[in-house]
Amino acid sequence: MNLTIRPSRDDDLPAVTAIYADAVLHGTASFKLTPPSEDEMTRRRAVLLDSGYPFLVAECDGAVAGYAYAGAYRSRPAYRSTVEDSIYVAREARRQGVGAALLPALIAACEQLDFRTMIAVIGDSNSAGSIGLHRRCGFREVGILEGVGYKHGRWLDSVLMQRRLGPGMGAPPPWHESMTR
Ligand SMILES: CC(C)(COP(=O)(O)OP(=O)(O)OC[C@H]1O[C@@H](n2cnc3c(N)ncnc32)[C@H](O)[C@@H]1OP(=O)(O)O)[C@@H](O)C(=O)NCCC(=O)NCCS
């Protein structure tokens, strides 16, 4: 398998939209109930890139096998150094190391941008794949919100996991001084 991790391009959007649509329709990682259109995914990616967040894809033998991006964890300004990750691998490409290549690349990109904490909000306590991948990439479980979602006929937890990025809380964020001056 020839696997490359690279920044996403406009022409990746059909594959990205299809990967996410499958996860929305058949999985519990996303609490969306209907898949967004390609236009909506295009708009979402543009907003992320315009705001300075990384959006990566895994290209496997010439086809997009997965994607990962970071976005704001919450919008209030004091949360600015904290990002939330999203990662989806095409069903047929899972358990072949795609996630294990994508997530560390996203972490490295976020450290380069001087973000300090990455949060994973994992839909469903039964999401062994996502919990296992995040644990393997240095995340620890920090909480469970019980039964906050309902999908496919059952109540779903959200599992919260967190990982330090770069110096983490060991130094103030780079934007701190300009905010207090
Ligand atoms: C979670 C997901 C991204 C993992 O991607 P993947 O390419 O299948 O993962 P990898 O093959 O790189 O596996 C990396 C590690 O993750 C863990 N893992 C992956 N799938 C697993 C599973 N089904 N059960 C338990 N652990 C699993 C293992 O620790 C694995 O390492 P190992 O193979 O050495 O044991 C993929 O299963 C997926 O897209 N799931 C649906 C969407 C989702 O849950 N996204 C996360 C939203 S936050």
How much distance in Å is there from the Cα of 170 to the middle of ligand 1?
Answer: 30
In this prediction the pTM is 0.97
State if residue 166 touches ligand 1 by the CB under 6 angstroms criterion: no
State if residue 8 touches ligand 1 by the CB under 6 angstroms criterion: no
Q: How far is CA 75 from CA 78, 83, 120, in A?
A: 8, 10, 16
State if residue 118 touches ligand 1 by the CB under 6 angstroms criterion: no
Q: Which two tokens stand for residue 95?
A: 């358990």
pLDDT along the chain (181 residues), means of 10: 95 98 98 98 98 98 97 97 98 97 98 98 97 98 98 98 97 83 53
pLDDT at position 77? 95
pLDDT at position 153? 97
Q: Whose CA is nearest to atom 37 of ligand 1?
A: 129
